[in-house]
Amino acid sequence: MKLLEERIRQEGIVKSGSVLKVDSFINHQMDVLFFDKMGAEFKRLYADAPINKILTIEASGIGIAIIAGLHFGVPVVFAKKSRSSNISDDVYHTVIHSYTHNNDNNVIVSREYLSPEDHLLIIDDFLANGCAMEGLIDLAHQAGATVEGLGIAVEKGFQKGGDKLRQEGYRVESLAIIESMDAATGEIVFREQD
């Protein structure tokens, strides 16, 4: 999505440690009208898929997932990070490692809201190592749901989570894929997409 690449070039800030800050329009201040364009693009990309629910994870995935939900006309379920290690029986549960915070999170979804009837689009703002996506896919599989595909705003292509998921057979649609970026010069190279 050329519009997203342009916006990242304009407003994204490359920091050391493979950090890309897009706080000004994606994951702190959220440009809702721009999200609307991203939601329309996800719908275009997945027009052929029988998606009846969107799954995301708190917190910064929720905004894009909600707008995509409007475009698909389906409900959105967000997986919750549990503060408690005491996990009840009425939830699906997985553990997701965060490289950003260097910790493990218990992540849960109530059994009521994922089922074998569900055909899921899993949405998040970023895909890097793929830990969050693997966790959400695990929750979907526990529920017997079908994963129709993944929808990502910004994929860090150089961190290989996306390519690993594609090799495993998942459909991954990322609106922008960063092939490389340089904190010293601020240069960002995007992967060519159709």
**Binding of its own copies by 159 (CB under 8 A):** no
**Binding of its own copies by 158 (CB under 8 A):** no
**Binding of its own copies by 77 (CB under 8 A):** yes
For its own copies, which residue of 24, 52, 142, 159 counts as binding (CB under 8 A)?
24
**How far apart (Å, rounded) are the C-alpha atoms in residues 124 and 164?**
17
Residue 31: Cβ-neighbour burial (10 angstroms; 0-12, 13-18, 19+): middle
Helix (H) or strand (E) segment spanning residue 49: none
**Binding of its own copies by 13 (CB under 8 A):** no
At what angle are helices 62-72 and 32-45 packed, to 10 degrees? Answer: 50
For its own copies, which residue of 74, 131, 183, 188 counts as binding (CB under 8 A)?
74
**How far apart (Å, rounded) are the C-alpha atoms in residues 151 and 138?**
16
**Binding of its own copies by 19 (CB under 8 A):** no
**Binding of its own copies by 66 (CB under 8 A):** yes
Nearest CA among 100, 96, 89, 172 for reference residue 138: 96
Helix (H) or strand (E) segment spanning residue 145: none
Under rule CB under 8 A, how many of the chain's residues touch its own copies? Answer: 32
For its own copies, which residue of 63, 130, 135, 161 counts as binding (CB under 8 A)?
63
Q: Are the beta carbons of 130 and 57 closer than 8 angstroms?
A: no
**Binding of its own copies by 67 (CB under 8 A):** yes
Q: Is 131 among the annotated ligand-binding positions? A: yes
Q: Is 86 among the annotated ligand-binding positions? A: no
Q: At 89, give phi and psi (nearest 5°).
A: -75, -15
**Binding of its own copies by 40 (CB under 8 A):** no
**Binding of its own copies by 30 (CB under 8 A):** yes
The contact set with its own copies (CB under 8 A) reads: 23-25, 28-33, 35-36, 58-59, 62-63, 66-67, 69-70, 73-78, 80, 83, 101, 109-110, 112-113
